[in-house]
Amino acid sequence: MAGRKVIITGVPGVGKTTVVNEALKKLESEGVEYQSINFGSFMFEVAKKEGIVQDRDQMRTLDRAVQKRLQQLAAQAIAKLSANVIIDTHASVKTPKGYLAGLPEWVLREIMPDLIILVEADNDQILMRRLSDETRTRDKEGSRAIKEHQQFNRSIAASYAMMTGCTIKNITNADHLLEYAAQEMADVLR
């Protein structure tokens, strides 16, 4: 029997990976297992092999057709997994030419998620997290642009629910309240 497919999204720097890791620790102690997958890593492995990018933050500047091909290859690989899977990805990606759907029809058709989680946080808190993360090349944008991106993600998530019948869960990852966000995530994954 195929396992549950859960998609975790959130704007860069919102802390989705941090919340997922905390939630998985809680579930592991209860014997609930999920395989955690980063969609961007699947795309990056292919892009790196083809020599078209050197780091993962360059992918969102690639030609739209190339990003679409990378999305499709990642979705096909993930669809083959039979375990319960958490897919860490983006509801939309901010490219130089506008928002790109992270879960377009050709991705959703392969994965058919049961649940999509939107991790959200205060716009200023996201800005500060991006500024203090020196390991990545984060987009330079203000809190108004971050707000617009978070709003866009809510809108596009509604269309994903219409296409697949999955449910949508919003989780707030506020500063100093990681434990609360992780508990909320563990509760919906259980």
Q: Least distance from C-beta 16 to ligand AP5, angstroms?
A: 4
100 or 114: whose CB is closer to ligand AP5?
100
Please tell me whether residue 37 binds ligand AP5 under the rule CB under 6 A.
no
46's tokens: 């292919």
Scanning 25-33, 47-55, 153-161, 172-180 for contacts with ligand AP5 by CB under 6 A, the matching segment is 172-180
Residue 133 CB-half CA count within 13 A: 16
- Positive/negative CA dihedral, 123, 129, 134, 136: negative
Q: Least distance from C-beta 93 to ligand AP5, angstroms?
A: 5
**φ and ψ of 14, to 5 deg:** -70, -20
Please tell me whether residue 12 binds ligand AP5 under the rule CB under 6 A.
yes
Burial class (CB in 10 A: 0-12, 13-18, 19+), 31: exposed
Which residue in the set 5, 6, 10, 185 belongs to the binding site for ligand AP5 (CB under 6 A)?
A: 10
**φ and ψ of 184, to 5 deg:** -65, -40
Q: Which residues, 42 to 101, sit near ligand AP5 by CB under 6 A?
A: 43, 56-57, 59-60, 67, 71, 88-90, 93
Q: Say which residue the tokens 């707000």 belong to.
A: 147
Find the helix packing angle between 143-164 and 123-132, rounded to 10°. 110
Which residue in the set 102, 113, 116, 150 belongs to the binding site for ligand AP5 (CB under 6 A)?
A: 102
- Name the residues that contact ligand AP5, by CB under 6 A: 10, 12-18, 38-40, 43, 56-57, 59-60, 67, 71, 88-90, 93, 102-103, 129, 133, 173, 175, 178
